[in-house]
Amino acid sequence: MNRHGRWLLIAALLAGVAAPVAARKDKEEAPASQGSSAEPENPYPSTYKAYPGRPTVIRNATIFDGEGGRIDKGVVFLSEGKIVAIGGPDTPIPADIAVFDGTGKYVTPGVIDIHSHLGVYASPGVDALSDGNEMTSPVTPHVWAEHSIWPQDPGFGRALANGGVTTLQILPGSGNLFGGRSVTVKNVPARTQQGMKFPGAPYGLKMACGENPKRVYGGRGREPSTRMGNMAVDRQTWIKAREYQKKRAAGKDQTRDLGMETLADVLEGKILVHNHCYRADEMANVIDMSKEFGYKIAAFHHAVESYKIADLLRDNGICSAMWGDWYGFKMEAYDGIKENVPLVHRAGACAIVHSDDQDGIQRLNQEAAKALGAGRRMGIDISDEVAWTWLAINPARAMGISEQTGSLKVGKMADVVLWNGNPFSTYTRPEKVWIDGALLYDSADPKLRPVSDFELGQIGAGDVK
């Protein structure tokens, strides 16, 4: 009951607390730098640098390229952090470099989790490390998830070693209608969040519809307490954002507003919207809202009823990020079915398997396998290599990083997993994981697995987890 427990705990903690007044710009002394022209381009820049890697070849492996392609007895060649060559057994490779025999093994691009709270809801799950939901106002587009990330969360290492996860989007929670900015990170341990930040990845905006915002704020006797309240507060906020964005675009002077800056960037297509939404009817309302205000939704997250409106999602070019089999834990999840992912896929809409969970992120391949098997049983014949797009190019596209990663194409980041069997099997685990060409996990090398500061010197540190 990790997520429920956490949620209930947070709700209980806040139940008796008087709701603070939403941050208002007129209460604040204007900072020295006023006006949109003073908005810094990138105030918390990535300092991530790829670690050095050796030129490496894997051959005789079954390759899923992440875009739906498959190569049997394939060859992948990594060098200087990039994929240099990929192809069949005849692919030319230079002499005297490290060669791994992949016979009986599989190679895929690194798993991308589009929905994670690692670092913002870190392990251990104590109050002091609970930093994912700024539930003091339903509208908090001014908060940035990256400012909550604790890079020492042991969950990052587990996601790497057990899940082959090389890139993940860290989102604020879903207590608020506008939860704040998400950030995309590479799953490489660092001392700072800046050291993990995926260079050049666009920011996301976390939004939420449905039960959570109306329960949190309705429970305190304030707006929103209903689904119509959710929509009304959303729309009022977008009206303000549109005004702010117009002034900004016209170069007019106005006091900086962090939340409005984020929303204006959404309206200008620079920040991608990731909208937590379960029910089909609510997704349809949100789609209309996006048209009313002229922004694009990159993906609905959780989306347990996407299968009911797969055609609508396809026609609007919106991805669905879904669990393999979660259902029924709350009312809006009641209609969850295992066939959600394959039904969305078959309709021609973009399907993604996500975790939203520190345990699930270690087994996204198995979550995808559940959906794949359920789909096949109802006659939806999806091949393994096509299903791998749910963990690779599809999330990469929805996160705006598909030019850099998400598939094994020449010139892309060498984010690669060598699996010790078919990755849709329960019996399979990552054997080696490269990120930007650097070997950062090797199951055969006990020293080549991350031990976070939190775990160092504790019982079990460095154990096979």
Partner 1 sequence: MSKAAFKNPFGSSLSRTLACALVMAFSTPALAQSIAITGATLAIGDGSEPIQNGTVVITAGKVVAAGTGIAVPPGAKTIDAAGKWVTPGIVSGFSRLGLAEVPGVKETNDTRAARSPFSAAIDVAPAINPLANPVAISRTAGITRAVVAPVAANGIFAGQGAVVDLGADLTPITRPRAFQYVEMGEEGKDDAGGSRAAMILTFRMMLREAQEFAKAPASYDGRSKDALLNRVDAEALVPVVTGAMPLMVHVESARDILTILSLRQDFPALKLILAGATEGWMVAPQIAAAKVPVITAGLEDLPSSFEKLAATQSNVGRMVKAGVSVSMGMLTGDDALQLRAATQQAGNMVALTKVPGATGLSWGQALRTITAAPAEAMGLGDRIGSLRVGRAGDVVIWDGDPLEMTSAPVAVWIDGVAQPLENRQTRLRDRYATPGEGAVPKAYEW
Interacting residues toward partner 1 by CB under 8 A: 1-2, 4, 123-126, 154-155, 158, 162, 211, 307-311, 324-331, 333-339, 343, 347, 358-359, 362-363, 366-367, 369-370, 372-374, 376-379, 420-421, 424-429, 443-444, 446, 454-455, 458-460, 463-465
Count of residues in the chain: 465
- Closer to partner 1 by CB, 245 or 389: give it: 389
Q: Compute the distance between CA of residue 352 and CA of residue 320 in angstroms, rounded to an integer.
A: 6
Backbone angles phi, psi at 353, to 5 degrees: -100, 125
Q: How far is the CB of 98 from partner 1 (least distance, A)?
A: 19
Q: Compute the distance between CA of residue 306 and CA of residue 341 in angstroms, rounded to an integer.
A: 8
Q: How far is the CB of 177 from partner 1 (least distance, A)?
A: 19
Q: To 5 degrees, how large is the angle CA 13–CA 14–CA 20? A: 150
Q: How far is the CB of 102 from partner 1 (least distance, A)?
A: 15
Q: How far is the CB of 249 from partner 1 (least distance, A)?
A: 38
- Closer to partner 1 by CB, 301 or 432: give it: 432
Helix axes 258-267, 227-249, angle to 10 degrees: 90
Q: How far is the CB of 398 from partner 1 (least distance, A)?
A: 20
- Closer to partner 1 by CB, 229 or 430: give it: 430
- Closer to partner 1 by CB, 217 or 424: give it: 424
- Closer to partner 1 by CB, 216 or 271: give it: 216
Q: How far is the CB of 100 from partner 1 (least distance, A)?
A: 15
- Closer to partner 1 by CB, 18 or 459: give it: 459
Q: How far is the CB of 38 from partner 1 (least distance, A)?
A: 43
- Closer to partner 1 by CB, 110 or 375: give it: 375
Q: How far is the CB of 370 from partner 1 (least distance, A)?
A: 5
Token duo for residue 240: 């303000």
Q: Compute the distance between CA of residue 312 and CA of residue 317 in angstroms, rounded to an integer.
A: 9
Q: Which residue has the tokens 């031990």?
A: 451
Sequence-ordered list of residues with C-beta below 8 angstroms from that of 24, at least 6 positions apart, any chain: none
- Closer to partner 1 by CB, 162 or 407: give it: 162
Q: How many Cβ atoms from other residues are within 10 Å of residue 378's Cβ?
A: 11
Q: How far is the CB of 364 from partner 1 (least distance, A)?
A: 12
Helix axes 211-218, 2-15, angle to 10 degrees: 30
Q: Is the dihedral of CA 275, 152, 262, 269 positive or negative?
A: negative
Pairing of strands 416-419, 106-109: antiparallel
Q: What is the DSSP string of 89-130?
A: TT----SSSEEEE-TT-EEEEPEEEEEE-TTTBPSS--GGGB
Cβ(99)–Cβ(85) below 8 Å: no
Q: How far is the CB of 437 from partner 1 (least distance, A)?
A: 23
Sequence-ordered list of residues with C-beta below 8 angstroms from that of 428, at least 6 positions apart, any chain: 106, 365, 419, 420, 421, 422
- Closer to partner 1 by CB, 213 or 406: give it: 213
- Closer to partner 1 by CB, 168 or 414: give it: 168
Closest CA relative to residue 207, chosen from 175, 239, 243, 168: 175
- Closer to partner 1 by CB, 142 or 158: give it: 158
Cβ(197)–Cβ(47) below 8 Å: yes
Q: How far is the CB of 458 from partner 1 (least distance, A)?
A: 5
Q: Compute the distance between CA of residue 359 and CA of residue 347 in angstroms, rounded to an integer.
A: 30
Question: Which residues, in sequence order, are bridge partners of residue 213?
Answer: none
